[in-house]
Structure 1
Amino acid sequence: MAAVLSRVSAPVPFLARLFGGVLLLLGFVLLAAGGWLASVGGSWYYALAGLSFAVIGGLMWGRLREAYFLYALFFLASLIWSLWEVGVDWWPLAARLDVPWIIGALMLALLPRLHPAVPDTDPRRLRWSSRPSQALMLVLLAFVVVAVISWTRDLHAQEGEIPDTAGAPAAATAAASDNVPAGEWHAYGRTSFGQRYSPLTQITPQNVSNLSMAWEFRTGDMRGQPGDPKETTFEVTPLKIGQRLFLCTPHQSVLALDATTGKELWRYDPKVQGQLALQHLTCRGLSYQAPPDAAASAPASAECPAKLFMPTADARLIALNPDTGKVCQSFGKGGAIDLWAGMPNARPGAYYSTSPVVVTQRLLIVGGTVLDNASTKEQSGVIRAYDISTGALVWNWDSGNPDVTTPLSAGQKYVPNSPNSWSVASADEQLGLVYLPMGNQPPDQWGGNRSAAVERYSSSVVALDINTGQVRWVFQTVHHDLWDYDVPSQPVLVELTVNGQRVPALVQPTKQGELFVLDRRTGAPIHPVREVAAPQGAATGDHTAPTQPVSAISFEPPKLTEKDMWGATMLDQLWCRIAFHSLRYEGRFTPPSTQGSIINPGNFGVFNWGSIAVDPVRGIAFTTPAVLAFTSQLVPRKDDTTMLVQDEGKPSGSLPALNENYGAPFASRMKPFTSPLGVPCQAPPWGTVAGVDLNTGTVAWRHRNGTVRDLSPVPVPIRMGVPSLGGPLMTAGGVAFLSGSMDNYVRAYDVRNGRQLWEDRLPAGGQATPMSYQDAQGRQMLLVIAGGHGSTGTKPGDYVRAYVLKQP
């Protein structure tokens, strides 16, 4: 004992004091925060870890070798606890043990300086041998062994394969209405069925690795101009008609390019006027009317035998001659339709069509977006049909007044604030139906004043009669939506073989992770849909639906637990654990609250506007499920003018104050559920690719997808699985493509098993859906847009890239 006391009182090197002091400080922080976590019902580990660090820090301060033995015991206990919580799953293990392992390694590195070797003749030799350091070294090596084992397996992967015969009979039964030439792309999803499927077969799993860039074109249109909202995005999927490509840019220019060389042929600037109250500034695509044939009901125009239709940010729908880029003056008024006609609460930029309009033989069918959660006095979500030749209004369907579809009389206004359809619609002209993915009525997080009509049509798929606009059927994907779970994806139309019968189906992806498979004639589910009990207890003046629909094909994320909390280090993971217990969370459909609620999945969605790709021959889907939790807090309003949730200050210029919900009882503060370091509080993977057999309703395979190269401070391409924004493409050659992952790559996959086959680095974020076409030389091309996305923070750009197989 005297010898020990003598050593404690001896002068202590600065390094020992520093290291011991750091451990003492870390210990006190962990003890305090861990005690807080334990007091709210969380794990006791962090409080005990804090106590251990404090004791070990004191021993290190005194240069006592007991520190090493105690630390070995602590690390071994931490390893056992971590394996008990998450198993052999690398990233959750790393978040728990990265800091303790580094501290242990530093202790071993400092041992020779802090504790010189004891001479053989010293009687303390046996007691103060190197056994404590050996014990620490062994437990640190044990973690390395566990880590190596975890690197060889992916506990989140689902291995499997879709056989080539899935969904027989073969090609003759694909989309009967597909009259688009195989080498062309005439609509956002190639056809009005929205399948994002190319029948070209040159690119195969065997040769896709030979893809190389054929040409690159830069539009010159970059985000960051005066008046741009944060969500200024290059989301377009170009059209390919004849030997030309047609696309639109974020700032609304329309371009025609030579499909073989990428040379610009013409450019049209609609000259959007004025200061606009924009939430989004984008153009997802153009629409195309082919020259009518002799049997068509719509007469040909001598001025514009064919037309391109471009929706603008100041709410015009312009018709252009695809040959020249000139405005079709005989259409509408001077070549355009004014979408503000009959619209209440006029505010330039607050309403326009961000998605391409639906083109049928006789009609154009147009929806639009309104400001999300700015006020209760927004524009109408009316859907309107116009004569494709003249631009005259034929019918209007307003979800706030759904029974009257005859054209609005002069001087009348549509219903303010009614649910809108901002995404891409689909159509089946043989059945005479247009299918609309419907949004919600603002505000999204409080619905105490919604009408019966709004309750019926919000967050639904609605089938309207193409000729009259009358409702033929409606299927609601969320009841009394309080989560911004509007239907974001284009419905996909496909023929499926179910129980030996061919069925005309509609596949609807949703933000909450469902793939609802419906009979598109009636809206009846083809694969089972069940109603499950949902959490109750909405905010004052509101209510929650007792049940919510869940499909047999569901990518619903598992219910979060404290064990699922993550972070870059044990410290921010501890923060996430405390936050988990501090917020309200009862699983999916936890209502927003003044306390703050965890919404999982968040309004980013498992699926968003990119939808899915479907092979109509085999009835299989290539999907890109993402999982990111958000938080939603209701902030009581005392008046209808004060800004409550503009954390970055008052918006500049005419840009709107989003989420203020003027006119409602609450503003809403919504943000990703992340740690103070900005990393998600839920463990990866956050983004995957998955293959689904739509005929049987089964998920065949699923794999994490994408790296954190462009998301982390250190640009290391670690494959953790990151979200995608932008849809996939499938081809008849058995290859799928995706460019929307948050790490600036375009990738190719084998659709049978999801195995990645090829990738190429993009110069900017690829948040758009790629397409494929055949050029003048008969080569199959892959076309990718790389322009970035303002909301996700991916790198901006103005790139159009075409890839082709290298010649042998």
Structure 2
Amino acid sequence: MVIFSVLVTGFFGLILLGGGIYLIVLGGSAYYLLAGGGMLIAALLLYRRSAHALTVYAAVLFGTLVWALWEVGFDWWQLGPRGGLPVLLGLWLLLPFVRRRLDRAPASPGLGSPPALALAAVCVLSAIVAGWSMFVDPHDIDGRLPDKTNQAAADQRGVPDGDWWQYGRTPLGQRYSPLTQITVDNVDDLKEAWRYRTGDVKRPEDVGETTYQVTPLKVGDTLYLCTPHNWAIALDAATGKEKWKYDPQAGLNPNRQHQTCRGVTYYSDTAAAAGAPCAERIYLPTSDARLIALDARSGAVCTSFADQGALHLETGMKYKPEGYYYSTSPPVVVGRKIIIGGAVNDNYSTEEQSGVIRAFDVDTGALIWNWDSGNPTETAPLPPGRTYTTNSPNSWSVFSVDEALGLVYIPLGNQVPDQLGMGRSANVEKYSSSIVALDVETGQDRWVRQTVHHDLWDMDVPAQPVLVDLTKADGTTVPALVGPTKQGDIYVLDRRTGEPILPVTEEPAPGGAIPEDFSAPTQPISALTFTPPPLRESDMWGVTMFDQLACRIRFHQLNYEGRYTPPSLNGTLVYPGNFGVFNWGSVAVDPDRQVMFGMPTYLAFTSRLVPRADIPAPGQGEKGSEQGLNRNEGAPYGVVMGPFLGPLGIPCQAPPWGYVAGADLSSGKIAYKHRNGTVYDMTALPLPIKLGVPGIGGPMITRGGVAFLAAAVDNYLRAYDLTTGKELWKGRLPAGGQATPMTYALADGRQMVVIVAGGHGSIGTKAGDYVIAYALP
């Protein structure tokens, strides 16, 4: 056993010594070098059967404890990887069949000997520190949102209390329901009321990013939803029984980057006779770039719309590579216009479709106006023979509408290639990664608020802007817009003008772009922000001290000077990463209490530019994705990107990676921030450890004071106290819940909560085809 101890201690020492030397060369911590040297000395003394080996190892272990506390304090998840294996090895050396063989030293090898006592004391001290740290969470913010509500009832824009007519329930996008049957006091009594399976399951030939992201609509007694392969389905809201199903036969295409549908759009023609065919319609966006009008009652195609019921969205595009363009989000209807954008494949080619936003006649499909961010002043319908600007910034997310102001609010993305900024036009520089307010009647832009200058990081504005009327300290009310961003800033703007209500300032940004490009000298930051502090070497993580050491080495190898470090040939650390702090799930806003609830996520990514000459021939590398090689055909560089992971495939940065959080929109103060989600579905063993895991999806809240959210990578729908953020209830889902839940009431007043559980391709949650409703008994 002594020889085994020699080998293990020596092996640990050699790894730490070698890695430690390299880390010091890179400018990192000297601990690993010193610890590795100490372990090698201990191994040599063990080989010589000297009890002084225990003294030396006690010194190494004590030094490890002091160093760990100095770096991270009482953070158990950070202390564990630093001290876990060293403490276990110390306990091993204290075992009788090891200790009693150390008989060549003057000191007695017994447990009462000074060497053994020293090592035992350090092990006990380490255990005390570990035990104490389990009850301390240095990342938690514990507080309360204000309870005060407006005297006037919140504006529901004509949507009945028991319905959910649009993606965010109303055109304001608040994801707020005035229903109160489910409260913080009874939500833990929720039970499954019904379950429906769509039959649209993930297929072997599907693209990787095949995902269920749909939020159903509820109008009258019917739910309307879509599936990843763009089936439209109507269900009985009380029972979940299928009323009709429509398959647009969109087919499969390996060139599609995404195979998903976030929702459908409902429209009622008030001028039509009651019960007339297509007087009520469902508009279905498809992954083969069509918009199809369906009779809401029967599911039949409304052939009077566009071309026999289908609008072809690639019309007017100069380049039309099949599978590169589609709409993944539901359009909005306002003033008898249906307004729609489109998703383009990130980083496939420089010859992709335009990001044009278009308004069509909701009844006929005739083009009314088009706003192209590459040519923003010409909004009259594009004449024959003309084409929209290739690769202009697009909007793949959901719009919001203030019909009284006559404005539609567009979250805009970046021009592809995302990581290459050379050659962008002045218009692209102005509108990339911004929120734009367009005139509903003309399509002219009224204002633009850019959230990233010269975006080189794929920091699209991903989320539907939320519209809410905020009461200021002097009692006046301001029509506001709340805009979540990938970088974690929450912009609170006057939605009439785009001017900040909460301050927006410019902060210096890193330089060092490749010679052909440049980086903006400053970047905006909002007073209300969830952006994380810059990563440090001490933030690197692993299951053991060895993979943590590997992550520390990789951290120093990458270019990183904080947020907005430019892409590079060497490799750049991007934090927040491409998934963003917030994504398409947006945030939920209580218009009465004027507070928000959201799910900030923190995962670092890496990107590395690859010269065109070094990119494999087509068919030998990925065309584009959030992980792997993005080819950028036609550009001088491709880019390799992906999450910043260690040798064991877990994030290199320390947890938590995901939170729930609440903020007061009037003051701009974050009230609470708590770890969210467990590793139950992330590891081979189903352990309900509340680590704080990443996720993608969105929340919704109710006037009953309850917030609902699935989204995390463990398969649960959870309910939270909106005031404190504390978890109140969770329901186990049969698949990943990466969709936004919704709620409605039946004719008898019974409140239902519905979530679609089908998994998400990018984060690897379990696939399925479930629509599940919960209610009180």
Is residue 562 from structure 1 mapped to residue 547 from structure 2 by the alignment? no
How far, CA to CA, are the matches of 1:255 and 1:23 in structure 2? Answer: 63
Match of 1:112 among 88, 97, 106: 97
Name 2:232's counterpart in structure 1: 254
Name 1:7's counterpart in structure 2: none
1:387-414 Cα offsets, whole Å, 9 max, x none, are 0111111011111111101111122211
**Which 10-residue stretch deviates more, 513-522 or 651-660?**
651-660
**Which 10-residue stretch deviates more, 50-59 or 434-443?**
50-59
Name 1:327's counterpart in structure 2: 301
Q: What's the CA shift for 1:654?
A: 14
Letter in 1 for 2:479: P
Is residue 682 from structure 1 mapped to residue 653 from structure 2 by the alignment? yes
Name 1:703's counterpart in structure 2: 674
CA contact (8 A) 1:89 1:155 kept: yes
Letter in 2 for 1:343: M
Letter in 1 for 2:129: V
User: Equivalent residue of 2:398, what SS?
Assistant: coil
Name 1:12's counterpart in structure 2: none
**Which 10-residue stretch deviates more, 59-68 or 138-147?**
59-68
Name 1:509's counterpart in structure 2: 484
1:67-117 Cα offsets, whole Å, 9 max, x none, are 2222112111110111011111111111111111111122223x3355259
How far, CA to CA, are the matches of 1:759 and 1:131 in structure 2? Answer: 52
Match of 2:138 among 155, 167, 176: 155
Q: Structure 1: 5+ residue runs without aligned partners?
A: 1-14
Name 2:13's counterpart in structure 1: 27
Name 1:286's counterpart in structure 2: 264
User: Equivalent residue of 1:49, what SS?
Assistant: helix
1:22-59 Cα offsets, whole Å, 9 max, x none, are 22122111111100001111111001111112121222
User: Equivalent residue of 1:486, what SS?
Assistant: coil
Q: What's the CA shift for 1:124?
A: 6.2
User: Equivalent residue of 1:707, what SS?
Assistant: coil
Name 1:135's counterpart in structure 2: 118
User: Equivalent residue of 1:231, what SS?
Assistant: coil
Letter in 2 for 1:708: V
How far, CA to CA, are the matches of 1:128 and 1:106 in structure 2? Answer: 13
User: Equivalent residue of 2:458, what SS?
Assistant: coil
1:174-200 Cα offsets, whole Å, 9 max, x none, are 22x521111111011001111011110
How far, CA to CA, are the matches of 1:656 and 1:735 in structure 2? Answer: 36
Map 1:526-537 onto structure 2 (within 5 A): 526-537=501-512
Map 1:488-507 onto structure 2 (within 5 A): 488-500=462-474, 501-507=476-482
CA contact (8 A) 2:292 2:301 kept: yes
CA contact (8 A) 2:93 2:99 kept: no
Instruction: Describe the shift of the 1:301–1:457 C-alpha distance in structure 2 as closer, same or farther (beyond 3 A).
Output: farther
Name 1:220's counterpart in structure 2: 199
Q: What's the CA shift for 1:560?
A: 1.1
TM-score (norm 2): 0.97
How far, CA to CA, are the matches of 1:302 and 1:123 in structure 2? Answer: 101
Letter in 1 for 2:404: Q
**Percent of residue pairs bearing the same amino acid type:** 55
Q: What's the CA shift for 1:300?
A: 8.5
Letter in 2 for 1:418: S
- After TM superposition, where is structure 1 displaced by more than 3 Å over at least 4 residues in a row? 116-119, 122-131, 273-276, 299-302, 641-644, 649-658
Instruction: Describe the shift of the 1:653–1:300 C-alpha distance in structure 2 as closer, same or farther (beyond 3 A).
Output: farther
Letter in 2 for 1:374: Y
How far, CA to CA, are the matches of 1:117 and 1:465 in structure 2? Answer: 84
How far, CA to CA, are the matches of 2:485 and 2:46 in structure 1? Answer: 55
Name 2:354's counterpart in structure 1: 380
Letter in 2 for 1:497: T
Is residue 486 from structure 1 mapped to residue 486 from structure 2 by the alignment? no
Map 1:718-797 onto structure 2 (within 5 A): 718-797=689-768
Is residue 233 from structure 1 mapped to residue 216 from structure 2 by the alignment? no
How far, CA to CA, are the matches of 1:551 and 1:627 in structure 2? Answer: 18
Match of 2:166 among 187, 203, 207: 187
User: Equivalent residue of 2:630, what SS?
Assistant: coil
Match of 2:495 among 497, 520, 544: 520
Instruction: Describe the shift of the 1:790–1:127 C-alpha distance in structure 2 as closer, same or farther (beyond 3 A).
Output: closer
Letter in 2 for 1:603: N
CA contact (8 A) 1:725 1:740 kept: yes
1:111-150 Cα offsets, whole Å, 9 max, x none, are 335525989xx99649995432232222111111111211
CA contact (8 A) 1:259 1:776 kept: no
Instruction: Describe the shift of the 1:623–1:144 C-alpha distance in structure 2 as closer, same or farther (beyond 3 A).
Output: same
CA contact (8 A) 2:565 2:572 kept: yes
CA contact (8 A) 1:308 1:320 kept: yes
Name 1:472's counterpart in structure 2: 446
How far, CA to CA, are the matches of 2:648 and 2:626 in structure 1? Answer: 29
How far, CA to CA, are the matches of 1:537 and 1:118 in structure 2? Answer: 60
Name 1:580's counterpart in structure 2: 555
User: Equivalent residue of 2:225, what SS?
Assistant: strand
Letter in 1 for 2:676: N
How far, CA to CA, are the matches of 2:380 and 2:408 in structure 1? Answer: 17
How far, CA to CA, are the matches of 1:157 and 1:129 in structure 2? Answer: 42
CA contact (8 A) 2:75 2:133 kept: yes
User: Equivalent residue of 1:638, what SS?
Assistant: helix
1:708-727 Cα offsets, whole Å, 9 max, x none, are 11122332111111122000
Is residue 607 from structure 1 mapped to residue 582 from structure 2 by the alignment? yes
Instruction: Describe the shift of the 1:301–1:595 C-alpha distance in structure 2 as closer, same or farther (beyond 3 A).
Output: farther
Match of 2:526 among 548, 551, 555: 551
Map 1:77-96 onto structure 2 (within 5 A): 77-96=63-82
1:437-490 Cα offsets, whole Å, 9 max, x none, are 000000110110100000000000000000110011100000000000010000
User: Equivalent residue of 2:7, what SS?
Assistant: helix
Name 1:46's counterpart in structure 2: 32
How far, CA to CA, are the matches of 1:91 and 1:195 in structure 2? Answer: 35
Map 1:365-514 onto structure 2 (within 5 A): 365-500=339-474, 501-514=476-489
Name 2:774's counterpart in structure 1: 803
Name 2:58's counterpart in structure 1: 72
Name 1:571's counterpart in structure 2: 546
How far, CA to CA, are the matches of 1:709 and 1:353 in structure 2? Answer: 34
Name 2:22's counterpart in structure 1: 36
CA contact (8 A) 1:185 1:191 kept: yes
Name 2:633's counterpart in structure 1: 662
Letter in 1 for 2:753: L
**Which 10-residue stretch deviates more, 91-100 or 509-518?**
91-100
1:590-627 Cα offsets, whole Å, 9 max, x none, are 00111111111011100000000000111100011111
CA contact (8 A) 1:276 1:348 kept: no
CA contact (8 A) 1:229 1:655 kept: no
User: Equivalent residue of 1:473, what SS?
Assistant: strand
TM-score (norm 1): 0.93
Match of 1:200 among 179, 187, 191: 179
How far, CA to CA, are the matches of 2:209 and 2:22 in structure 1? Answer: 38
1:635-670 Cα offsets, whole Å, 9 max, x none, are 11138x8449x9xx5459999996111111211111
Instruction: Describe the shift of the 1:431–1:658 C-alpha distance in structure 2 as closer, same or farther (beyond 3 A).
Output: farther
CA contact (8 A) 1:276 1:314 kept: no
User: Equivalent residue of 2:517, what SS?
Assistant: coil
Map 1:636-647 onto structure 2 (within 5 A): 636-638=611-613, 642-643=616-617
Q: Kindly name which structure, 1 or 2, has the bigger radius of gyration based on alpha carbons.
A: 1
Instruction: Describe the shift of the 1:634–1:117 C-alpha distance in structure 2 as closer, same or farther (beyond 3 A).
Output: closer
User: Equivalent residue of 1:281, what SS?
Assistant: coil
User: Equivalent residue of 1:83, what SS?
Assistant: helix
Instruction: Describe the shift of the 1:727–1:125 C-alpha distance in structure 2 as closer, same or farther (beyond 3 A).
Output: closer
